[in-house]
Amino acid sequence: MTDTPVIQLSDLSIGFTGRAGHTLPVLRNIELTVRPGESIGLVGESGSGKSTVALAAMGYLKRGLRVLGGSATFEGHDMFALSRKELESLRGGHLALIPQNSGQSLTPTLRIGAQLTEALRLHSRLDPAQFPARVLELLGQVRLPDPQAITRRYPHELSGGQQQRVAIAMALAGEPRALLLDEPTTGLDVTTQAHILELLRDLARETGMAMVYVSHDLGAIARVCDRVVVMYAGEVVMEGSARQVLTAPTHPYARGLLASIPKLSDPHLPMALGGRPPAPGGAGDGCAFVDRCALASDLCRTSRPMLAPGPGGAPVRCHHADRADTLPMSSQGDHAARAEAGTAPVLSLQDLEIRYSKPGILDRLRGREDTRPATVDDITISIAKGETLGLVGESGSGKSTILKTIAGLLPPADGEIRFDGDAPLPRSVEQRGPDHLRRIQLIFQNPDDSLNPRHTIAEILEQPLKLYFGLSGTALQDRCVEILERVRLGGHYLDRLPSQLSGGEKQRVAVARAFAANPDLVLCDEVTSALDVSVQAAVLELLNDLKAAQGTTYVFVSHDLAVVRALSDRVAVLYQGRLCEIGPSAEVYALPSHPYTEVLLGAVLEPDPDTVPKLTADDVIELSPPAKGCPFQRRCPRKIGAKCDTDTPPWQTRDDGHAIRCHIPLDDLHRQQHADS
């Protein structure tokens, strides 16, 4: 009985009709079997069709898509043959979905209580009088504090982690036998993500429901899933137990994907996977991965491999699976280029204080001081020439705020910024001269937002060149081509618009634009967060090469500790706009650590089924820093007493420049942390 599949996709192909009238497949011959209580991970790059698979299992197709062949069944019901009424009773009941972005998936005009009650009314056999109690029970089950208050809130009044918990509670309302999760933790902080994943693991165990977990994050998959299905260009390319896929993958793509993930334990740069996946319908007769594969042979170009048991027994879609183990799987990229020792600081921040709020007119007239704690306070950092400083912390830690202030976009409330030993840098960008503007460049998180969609790549690159160097005519043209080649794009990109480029290519253009100004200092704000891991690896490699060639100094902001480790010489850890720890990256990632760094590091998920995250502090999101004492006092698992609430902790600095701001003496801290690990 237990072997009857809950969800079964058989030979399922889904596609759309392209502009020229051809049918373009998005999914090709998908086979997927999910048994009761099993949790399956679906991994792949964006565009690989993994979300489409999850939605198809619910009998749902995005606008424009249609089934080309095959079937999707849930407990024997053919999902694409059911009537609308039958679908409605299954969806959200025995088969539920947890969406990627629950912030946007909860209806903004309805209170949380109303949305949960609706789910109960649709799928629960309870007496309506019991609904309010059941709503509270569900919210408690997903470990939300104060459920009563939550029911009265609107979705926008909750934090990202809370919204995700509400979405999970809503899915549980129908007592599902299978749960589909579409990137449920993408976009959440590491600590929140780790807590949500633990919750899902526990719930799966408690309720015995099957899970299909869609994610590009192999770390999350490793934590939650028994079996893993790797997708590429709308096909299943490999399938097996989590251990098999993550430790001994037999498909070249799976190996490449693993190699491109930066790992905490590994100070090397991750290895990029070159090329890009074929567009829908562009795979031709051969293997879809052939253009990016190191093992490709003539056979791969002419014949599409079948999904067949490979070495180790796991099904794999490759002609040369037996040779896949010759490909590297861990990051064997370069070491990040290092700064020369003893050079003068190129940038120093002195007692920087930043506030978003300004005192109101009335308060200013009455001469009242703003007594609220500053968003960012007491930041003193100096960065040597050619050095990369990583800034890490959860969302709301003030890391991007500091970048904006250095760039002059957000003048500081107090303190000064010195650049290249000069007099203090003017506070705002309007007051800075063209030379300062040129020498400090900023690269943003999302190239879709930072590149003007109506400008061609040439126009985008010409602007800094005209502005700072007064180039024109062929000199300008030549320089654009040269810059594009430096970011490995080439002159044929000049006439294109950003929309005609892939995500990775767009971010390269953004990098090229920053480097067109020939800057001394480049501020990188989460520059790889919006990219796929394989593309992220390529952008990291590019940044590192440019640094090696030009001695550029970077301030690199990211929430991903492994990415920061791969690129940075020194790392600063921020909590609530205050520095907790700063030092050479090897030291910061080793013991002893500030308790907050310890919490962050413990929550990082490695793509390895054997590592277990160490969850210590709660994943509560604090909206403002405490008025006095240690900024981390309210969440700290090693809090020693009233001193932490009242006194600002001292900096304890070691010989190697590693400094921790904590009341606990470093030796004690080291001993405690060593004992716990």
Q: Which of 10, 46, 71, 89 binds other proteins (CB under 8 A)?
A: 89
* Rounded distance between C-alpha atoms, residue 489 and residue 496, angstroms: 12
CB of 115 to other proteins, least distance (A): 9
* Sole window of 58-66, 183-191, 337-345, 603-611 interacting with other proteins (rule: CB under 8 A): 58-66
Q: Which of 2, 21, 83, 109 binds other proteins (CB under 8 A)?
A: 109
Is 11 a binder of other proteins (CB under 8 A)? no
**Cβ distance to other proteins smaller for residue 79 or 514:** 79
Is 65 a binder of other proteins (CB under 8 A)? no
Q: Which of 29, 34, 50, 91 binds other proteins (CB under 8 A)?
A: 91
DSSP class of 101: -
**Cβ distance to other proteins smaller for residue 96 or 269:** 96
The kind and range of the H/E element at 552 are none
**Cβ distance to other proteins smaller for residue 121 or 628:** 121
Q: Which of 21, 108, 342, 453 binds other proteins (CB under 8 A)?
A: 108
Nearest to 212 by CA among 239, 237, 189: 239
* Rounded distance between C-alpha atoms, residue 255 and residue 246, angstroms: 9
Secondary structure percentages of the chain, helix, strand, coil, to 5: 35, 20, 45
Is 101 a binder of other proteins (CB under 8 A)? yes
Is 391 a binder of other proteins (CB under 8 A)? no
* Rounded distance between C-alpha atoms, residue 546 and residue 609, angstroms: 35
* Rounded distance between C-alpha atoms, residue 623 and residue 639, angstroms: 20
One-letter amino acid at 190 equals V
Nearest to 630 by CA among 622, 57, 333, 494: 622
Nearest to 289 by CA among 248, 227, 234: 234
**Cβ distance to other proteins smaller for residue 108 or 470:** 108
Q: Which of 11, 78, 137, 157 binds other proteins (CB under 8 A)?
A: 157
Is 166 a binder of other proteins (CB under 8 A)? no
Q: Which of 56, 106, 242, 521 binds other proteins (CB under 8 A)?
A: 106
Q: Which of 2, 76, 129, 156 binds other proteins (CB under 8 A)?
A: 156
Q: Which of 92, 256, 464, 592 binds other proteins (CB under 8 A)?
A: 92
First-to-last alpha carbon distance for the chain, in angstroms, is 42
CB of 104 to other proteins, least distance (A): 4
* Rounded distance between C-alpha atoms, residue 11 and residue 156, angstroms: 41
Q: Which of 31, 75, 118, 334 binds other proteins (CB under 8 A)?
A: 118
Q: What are 462-465's contacts with CB under 8 Å, separation 24+?
A: 463/513, 464/438, 464/513, 464/516, 464/517, 465/516
Is 174 a binder of other proteins (CB under 8 A)? yes
For 672, half-sphere exposure in the C-beta direction (CA atoms, 13 angstrom radius) is 14
Q: Which of 9, 42, 87, 169 binds other proteins (CB under 8 A)?
A: 87
Is 172 a binder of other proteins (CB under 8 A)? no
Q: Which of 17, 107, 499, 646 binds other proteins (CB under 8 A)?
A: 107
Is 42 a binder of other proteins (CB under 8 A)? no
**Cβ distance to other proteins smaller for residue 186 or 463:** 186
Is 58 a binder of other proteins (CB under 8 A)? yes
Nearest to 70 by CA among 36, 112, 27: 27
Is 99 a binder of other proteins (CB under 8 A)? yes
* Sole window of 98-106, 280-288, 590-598, 665-673 interacting with other proteins (rule: CB under 8 A): 98-106
* Rounded distance between C-alpha atoms, residue 316 and residue 105, angstroms: 35
Q: How many CB atoms lie within 10 A of CB 17?
A: 12
State both tokens at 478: 């030549």
Q: Which residues contact 176 (CB under 8 A, 6 or more apart)?
A: 93, 94, 95, 96, 209
**Cβ distance to other proteins smaller for residue 88 or 485:** 88
Q: Specify the 3-state DSSP secondary structure of 298.
A: helix
Is 322 a binder of other proteins (CB under 8 A)? no
150 touches 161 (CB < 8 A): no
* Sole window of 94-102, 202-210, 230-238, 370-378 interacting with other proteins (rule: CB under 8 A): 94-102
**CA of residue 77 relative to chain centroid, distance:** 36
Is 97 a binder of other proteins (CB under 8 A)? yes
**Cβ distance to other proteins smaller for residue 93 or 132:** 93
260 touches 268 (CB < 8 A): no
598 touches 613 (CB < 8 A): no
Residue numbers of the site for other proteins (CB under 8 A)? 55, 58, 60, 63, 84-85, 87-93, 96-97, 99-101, 104-110, 118-119, 122-123, 154, 156-157, 167, 170, 174
